[in-house]
Amino acid sequence: MSPRKIMSTAVLGLFLLMSPAAAIAEEQQTAQEAMPEMGPPQEIKDLAYLVGDWDVVMKSKWDPTDEDWIETKGIANYKYVAEGSVLQITYDSQVMEMHFSGFGLQCFDRESNQWQMVWSDNFGARISYYEGTKKDGRMVMTGEEKWMGKTAIGRITTYNETDTSFEWDMESSYDGGKTFIKSAWAKYTKRQ
């Protein structure tokens, strides 16, 4: 075999060996470029001030026709889970001499550009889902509620936020969102 044929065969062999490796490297680079952003979105990082324990004073009424509000005191805890991508919320209080215990998860969905929250507690014994936006210092999330056989739109609004306090309203609409009735108000104060 001539030196030219040996060289041509070696180059061809080297080319055939390198082609799959180059193709795999190109596929990996394309896959990495196509990957969506991962990890905690900036929006959830911006809520870092919520991490910790909060004293909560809540006023609520269990029947929309009630004139009187029931005042309770509770403790809320916020912490990051899922490597900082999700806020976990726990809440404990006494309501009408009964223990009330709730648990929620809140995150920002960068695909829909919406805040999302799920909530469950020992009174409702169900999972409720809320979705909404944060604009002009107010986070407003809505979801479907069930109460004593009725379906309503629940609206949760968080406002007057600082690093050490915020307020929270819970409202319900039984007419498809035309009118809302406030069923709870709370003031959260961060423990030092």
Q: Are residues 146 and 122 in the same domain?
A: yes
Backbone torsions φ then ψ of 58, nearest 5 degrees: -125, 140
Answer positive or negative: Cα dihedral of 169, 95, 117, 146: negative
Q: Are residues 135 and 178 in the same domain?
A: yes
Length reported for the chain: 192
Kindly report the CATH number assigned to the domain that includes residue 56: 2.40.128.20
pLDDT by residue for the chain (192 residues), tens digit each?
665 666 556 555 555 555 666 666 666 666 666 777 889 999 999 999 999 999 999 999 877 777 889 999 999 999 999 999 999 999 999 988 899 999 999 999 999 999 999 999 999 899 999 999 999 999 999 999 887 788 899 999 999 999 999 999 999 999 999 999 999 999 999 998
Give the count of domains, the chain.
Answer: 2
Q: List, as one string, the DSSP characters of 94-144.
A: EETTEEEEEEEEEEEETTTTEEEEEEEETTT-S-EEEEEEEETTEEEEEEE
CB 128 within 8 A of CB 170: no
CB 93 within 8 A of CB 76: no
Q: Are residues 28 and 116 in the same domain?
A: no
**Full domain range(s) for residue 11:** 1-35
Contacts of 151 (CB under 8 A, 6+ apart): 144, 145
pTM of the prediction?
Answer: 0.78
DSSP state of 35: S
